[in-house]
Amino acid sequence: MKFTFFLCLLNAFLIFSISAHSQSAVYTLNGGAASQSGMTYSATSADQSSVLVLNSGNLELNNCTMSKSGDGSDKNQSLEYGINSSVLAISSGKITISGGSVQTNALYAAGLFSSGNASSITFKNGSLTTSKDYSSAFKTTHGGSITLKNVTASTSGANSPVLHIDFEGGAISVNGGTYFANATGNSTNSPAIYTSGEAAASSATFNSKGEAGAIVDGGSLSFSDSSLSGNLQAVKIINSKGVGASSSISASGGSLNASTKELFLLSNEGGSPPNANILLQKGISVYSGAGILIKVKSGSAVLTIDGASASGDCAVEDQTSSQCQIILKNSSSLSGKITDCSLKLDSSSVFTATSECNLTVLLDQDGISGVSVNNIIGNGNNVYYDPSNSSNSYLGGLTYSLINGGFLKPVGGGSCSLICDATADPTSGSSPLNVQFQGIIVQNNCPDTPSFFWSFGDGSTSSEQNPSHTYNADGRYNWTMSISTSDQVCEKSGRITVGNGQYCTLVCGAVVEPQSGRPPLNVSFNADVTSTYCSSTPSYLWDFGDGSISSEKSIIHTYNENGTFFYTLTSSADGENCSTTGKIFVSDVSSILVSSVSAFSSPFRLKVFGAGFVEESEIYIDGLKVPLTVFKSSSLLIAKKGSSLKAMIPKGTRVKIEVKNPDGSVSNPYYFIR
């Protein structure tokens, strides 16, 4: 214990010796308190600061001007301890700057530098610039802290982040202002932010013209209503701290923009594989010029999208040594291609596949309904999962249909799965009536050839897939189709009416409204059943999909919980039955989804794809209603008016597209570039 304490004292003494005894300044406060106003401090010698505060000194500067020229003589001392910086706080020194300006034009000359656990600098309503290499605007080491409010700052040299937290960390907090790293070229190593400690910003703007917007090296980065842009990535995550170090990034409101590459990149540039937890929350806008949301070249990442929308591909380069988990929750949406990542989403969230996807794990128990997935839009693309992974065991190695085409399918084996359907045309007419039957089959991992068996209801059968059959006598005939393969069986049935006999016929319909809303949601169910030639009055049975039933013809039912509920009305008379089904969507958030947008010319128009559209839906671009919205279906709207519409979407400019329904609900924002 004594030896450890001695080492700590020795380390503190060495830091003090290097920092204090080698450092000089135009103005030095060594302990005590002082206040200066309207002063100018110009440091011109090597290793000299404009202002130095140490040994618990407390200095206030009001509308002062600090400038620094003269290169530092020792790169390592300057970068770690602040030798040659313009304004320096060490050994529990405290500096508060209001207004004024700070400027450096020298090598190894940071603007503001705070080193040591109790050292701090506060700067508000001022400006700061640095011009040469290795000259960060604001830097903390060994636990120092800097607080900024409404500051305009820029750096121009290589290896010169605007916010720089390094050497055992520290903290920088920002509220308002603009912070630009102006060095150009893809190897400047001048991000707007470099943090191995704690960086937090609200209502601020950050930009790097030559690097990633931010580099996070085993530290934390928190954004609120701020903008971060990088010429390469928005955020690059590395690890120079060794095994066990982890980075965290969170953003709500504002925007993250990567001009040419990935939005997030995990790379083994620091010596060890990085680990990161990334959180995107409500109101955040994201854009990647490469169309890539996250790439894991090395390490492990968890990307959580919570109540927000994002687009872009997600990929792991080497699945043997790296991993990535995508989590969607609280009505989030993601569109893109996923390669060798896991995906977890709740029933209120939606993933749209823009290409073929390969998932290591899919955790979507609430989205699976029978043999379909209710919250993955395929648009004709298949999504593959690994059936050998125990986390996917609930999928049973089966194939499931996706919204708008495509399938969720096991890859590399799995159990035999079988989906079938059958059609008959026509279903009624005079004898002799020739009917064409068609058997439809979708199978996966079934080694055997499927066999078909049709029973036409008049004693005749067929083993063809698409048989034709003639009914020669009047009557009603119930047909069935059965498909068998590899111990799997799928059956469908229907009815053919021949002649004009008076048979009891039921046709089921239902008037149900509203079909979506917030809980508690009162829904009016009204049966609309037409009976023909039936001697008895039809009976009614409602199944509301939440465990409740009713035998009333008309009833009001209340849904108290969020969810998608499938209702069924069944009516019976004289041994005949009919049924109709529908869906009720209950959610605390909007049920409208915009999943993709396509532009067409001659004349110019937009096709907006999604879900939850109604006849009175309106399309908005950057908050302005388009001249004409044409309703095509609940999943397709078209914006028209040629040149007027085209003017709302300048070529090469990203715009925000939303859909608003007459009940006031608004879709997720979808970002589109023409």
Identify the pLDDT of residue 73. Answer: 95
Burial class (CB in 10 A: 0-12, 13-18, 19+), 214: buried
Structural domains in the chain (count): 4
Query: CA 14, CA 91: separation in Å to the nearest integer?
Result: 12
Residue numbers in the chain where pLDDT is lower than 50: 1-21
One domain, residues 241 and 374: yes
One domain, residues 201 and 238: yes
One domain, residues 421 and 379: no
Identify the pLDDT of residue 158. Answer: 96
Which residues span the domain enclosing 186? 20-410
Q: Which of 356, 375, 410 finishes a domain?
A: 410
Query: CA 425, CA 174: separation in Å to the nearest integer?
Result: 70
One domain, residues 510 and 486: no
In a domain, 538, yes or no: yes
In a domain, 14, yes or no: no
Query: CA 165, CA 143: separation in Å to the nearest integer?
Result: 9
CA-to-CA dists, residue 28 to 79, 97, 112, 143, angstroms: 20, 15, 15, 22
One domain, residues 494 and 447: yes
In a domain, 3, yes or no: no
Concatenated DSSP letters for 298-319?
Answer: SSEEEEEEES-EEESEEEES-T
One domain, residues 68 and 89: yes
One domain, residues 537 and 453: no
21 SS3 class: helix
Concatenated DSSP letters for 28-86?
Answer: EEESSEEEEES-EEEE-STTEEEEEEETT-EEEEES-EEEEES--S-HHHHHHH-TT-S
442 SS3 class: strand
One domain, residues 442 and 574: no
In a domain, 12, yes or no: no
One domain, residues 597 and 632: yes
Query: CA 303, CA 249: separation in Å to the nearest integer?
Result: 9
In a domain, 431, yes or no: yes
Q: Which of 554, 586, 618 finishes a domain?
A: 586
Burial class (CB in 10 A: 0-12, 13-18, 19+), 119: buried
DSSP 561: S
Pairing of strands 292-296, 264-266: parallel
Query: CA 629, CA 288: separation in Å to the nearest integer?
Result: 29
Pick the closest to residue 119 from 87, 150, 149 (CA basis). 87
Q: Which of 569, 586, 603 finishes a domain?
A: 586
Residue 262 phi, psi (nearest 5): -70, 155
Query: CA 358, CA 237: separation in Å to the nearest integer?
Result: 24
Identify the pLDDT of residue 1. Answer: 41
Identify the pLDDT of residue 588. Answer: 59
| Count of Cβ atoms closer than 10 Å to residue 246 Cβ | 16
Identify the pLDDT of residue 673. Answer: 76
One domain, residues 215 and 316: yes
Q: What is the mean pLDDT of the chain?
A: 90
In a domain, 494, yes or no: yes
In a domain, 620, yes or no: yes
CATH code of 661's domain: 2.60.40.10
One domain, residues 246 and 276: yes
Query: CA 618, CA 607: separation in Å to the nearest integer?
Result: 13
In a domain, 9, yes or no: no
Q: Which residues of 221-237 are buried (b: 16+ CB within 10 A; e: fewer)?
A: bbbbebbbbbbbbbbbb
CB 257 within 8 A of CB 229: yes
One domain, residues 395 and 427: no
